[in-house]
Amino acid sequence: MAQVSSMSDGQSSTMKSITLKISRFNPEHDESSQFMEFNVNYEKWTTVLEAILDVKKHFDHSVAVRYSCRQATCGSCGMIINGKPRLACFTKISELDSNVVTVEPMNNFPVIRDLAVKFERLFDTHQKIKPYLIRDDTELESDQKEFLQTPEEVEQYIQFANCIKCGLCNSACPTMATDSSFVGPQALAQAYRYVADSRDKGKDSRLKVIDDSHGIWRCHFAGSCSQVCPKGVDPAMGIQLLRGYMLGFRD
Amino acid sequence: MRESTIMKVHYGTALAAVALVAVHILMRLTMGYSESLEYENVLANYKFVPYAIMLELILILLSVHGFNGLRVILLELKQGKMYEKAVSYGCLAGMIGLIAYGSRTIIMTNMGMV
Ligand code: HEM
Ligand code: SF4
Ligand code: FES
């Protein structure tokens, strides 16, 4: 299936080119994945996603890739780029410093086709930790104000609220690789995000969910999740802070 | 048992083991290592009640810690209802078995039965 294609007509002379190796796999009829190679031109600002879309436009429209916002906001375009989980729209070819750029689907996610993976497990675990404010009263009473927070209270969780559910952390996590029931760093960081929110009263029910034989205790401090997070969420720190509640260091 | 309770025990046994194993090593430094392992000296150690109690405690701490650690490794290796049940009870049985066998050695030697 390997193939080399190149595009040279009508490009400016300042353009450089790289070999883009795309992992191709269709579980319906392929035994294993195979790389297809394309020669693509790029500018200083060209992202990996743009290069893939170039391939789709000019060489092979059947390459499967998921994307939407193109600005590191929707969390759709996570993939393994030159061996590391990254957002394709947030990774410039020039920053990779390599003549060959390899793109593969994220690890620890079932492949739908080529670079597109199934997100069901991530959405399920995210939902499991109750990702919303829990309280008995409601803000709907007409003469009341919204629940105000001090800047210090916001500081407690705001970094964790930046999560875009891209799944890169789950893709990098070594426990996720073998434990098919593990909650995963994404959901654990979100459990912390809500538990640490001064407006939330659902701490006990949330801690109960993650205090399971495949819950928070299956994190072994590898820290890979925080290395790959494109939004600076630092899920590993969220997990350790969450552990603090469970070991009685915080309340 | 709740997983957090088990893991508190796991960390607690590790910390306590560090302290007791340090004492154990210091005691062994009172003589050369090969001398430590001579028949008469080994018997004497087991007959010295405070030291025998400490060895028994180390045995319990590390059996609990080690077999729980093994349980954790096995739970992460493979999943499934039956498998996980077997792992949990198997590790518990191993833990109890090892403690029983070690205690038998310590108690019998202490009481002069060998
Ligand atoms: C006294 C020194 C020791 C300390 C401080 C210690 C500490 C720890 C800690 C903190 C963990 C949890 C690691 C994690 O969750 O990622 C652990 C796991 C484990 N320990 Fe120990 N331990 C000690 C001795 C032992 C000994 C002597 C054994 C063997 C009998 C043992 C067997 C295990 C196993 C099998 C695991 C599970 C593996 C893992 O979770 O990474 N440990 N230990
Ligand atoms: S914590 Fe970071 S890496 Fe993980 S899903 Fe959220 S944004 Fe992505
Ligand atoms: S396309 Fe939305 S995050 Fe990359």
**Both tokens assigned to B88:** 């949990």
B12-50 pLDDT per residue, tens: 999 999 999 999 999 999 988 889 999 999 999 999 999
Gap between the Cα atoms of A146 and A137, Å rounded? 12
CA of B11 to the centre of ligand 1 (A): 8
**Both tokens assigned to B114:** 């060998």
Among A176, A179, A210, A213, the strongest candidate for a mutation testing the B interface, having the largest count of B CBs within 10 A, is A213
* DSSP type of residue A16: E
Cα A144 from chain centre: 38
Give the bridge partners for A40, in sequence order.
Answer: A18
Among B2, B4, B6, the strongest candidate for a mutation testing the A interface, having the largest count of A CBs within 10 A, is B4
Gap between the Cα atoms of A99 and B48, Å rounded? 71
Domain A120-246 -> CATH class: mainly alpha
What does the pLDDT read at residue A126?
A: 98
CA of A186 to the centre of ligand 2 (A): 6
Angle at A222 between CA A218 and CA A223, to 5 degrees: 110
**Ligand 3 neighbourhood includes A6 CB (under 6 angstroms):** no
pTM: 0.91
User: How many domains does chain B fold into?
Assistant: 1
The helix or strand, by DSSP H or E, that contains position A108, with its residue range, turns out to be none
Cα dist. A212→A133, A215, A217, B4, B55 in Å?
22, 5, 8, 8, 33
Q: Is A246 on the interface with B (CB under 8 A)?
A: yes
Q: Per residue of chain A (251 residues), what is the pLDDT tens digit? A: 455 555 555 455 568 999 999 999 999 999 999 999 999 999 999 999 999 999 999 999 999 999 999 999 999 999 999 999 999 999 999 999 999 999 999 999 999 999 999 999 999 999 999 999 998 876 666 676 678 899 999 999 999 999 999 999 999 999 999 999 999 999 999 999 999 999 999 999 999 999 999 999 999 999 999 999 999 999 999 999 999 999 988 88
CA of A250 to the centre of ligand 3 (A): 36
Q: Residue B78: which domain range?
A: 3-110
Closest ligand 2 atom, residue A165 Cα: 5
* Polymer length of chain A: 251
Cα dist. B44→B22, B49, B54, B99, B112 in Å?
20, 10, 14, 21, 10
User: Which of B2, B76, B78 comes nearest A175 by C-beta?
Assistant: B76
Largest alpha-carbon pair distance within chain A? 67
**Ligand 2 neighbourhood includes A235 CB (under 6 angstroms):** yes
Q: Would you kindly state where each structural domain of chain A is located, as residue ranges? A: 16-117, 120-246
Angle at A183 between CA A178 and CA A184, to 5 degrees: 70
Which protein residues are within 6 Å of ligand 1, measured from CB?
A 220; B 11, 14, 17-18, 21, 62, 65-66, 69-70, 72-73
Amino acid letter, residue A100: V
Fold of A16-117: Ubiquitin-like (UB roll) (3.10.20)
A49-88 pLDDT per residue, tens: 999 999 999 999 999 999 999 999 999 999 999 999 999 9
Averaged pLDDT of chain A: 93
A217 vs B contacts (CB less than 8 Å): 3-4, 6-7, 72
Q: Is A167 on the interface with B (CB under 8 A)?
A: no
CA torsion angle for A29, A2, A100, A177 (degrees, to 10)? 20
What does the pLDDT read at residue A1?
A: 47
Q: What is the CATH number of the domain that holds B48?
A: 1.20.1300
What does the pLDDT read at residue A232?
A: 97
User: Which of B2, B8, B79 comes nearest A179 by C-beta?
Assistant: B79
Angle at B90 between CA B84 and CA B91, to 5 degrees: 95
The helix or strand, by DSSP H or E, that contains position B4, with its residue range, turns out to be helix B3-28
